[in-house]
Amino acid sequence: MKEFKVIGMEEIWSLDGGGKFNKKVLEDTLNSYGLEGWSVKAIATRQIPGFASLTHESMIILERDMPLEP
């Protein structure tokens, strides 16, 4: 049987060129879940425009095998 988990990540970029995607944060987050047996099943992203910024949201769906109980 499989177990699923959804995690959310958000990056906010200012429209004046400030802000930047932080690949290291994403990498560290996924590696920490990987150590617990999780693997990425799917990723959905969207952009949300704001007054002076642009928000990038990602929903990452993880899955792992559930432990067998006797």
Q: What is the pLDDT along the chain (70 residues), one digit of tens a residue?
A: 899 999 988 776 666 656 666 788 888 989 999 999 999 999 998 888 877 777 778 899 999 998 777 6
Residue 70's pLDDT is 65
Maximum Cα interatomic distance, the chain, rounded to a whole number of Å: 58
With CA atoms as reference, report the closest residue to 1 among 66, 69, 62. 66
Answer yes or no: pTM beyond 0.85. Answer: no
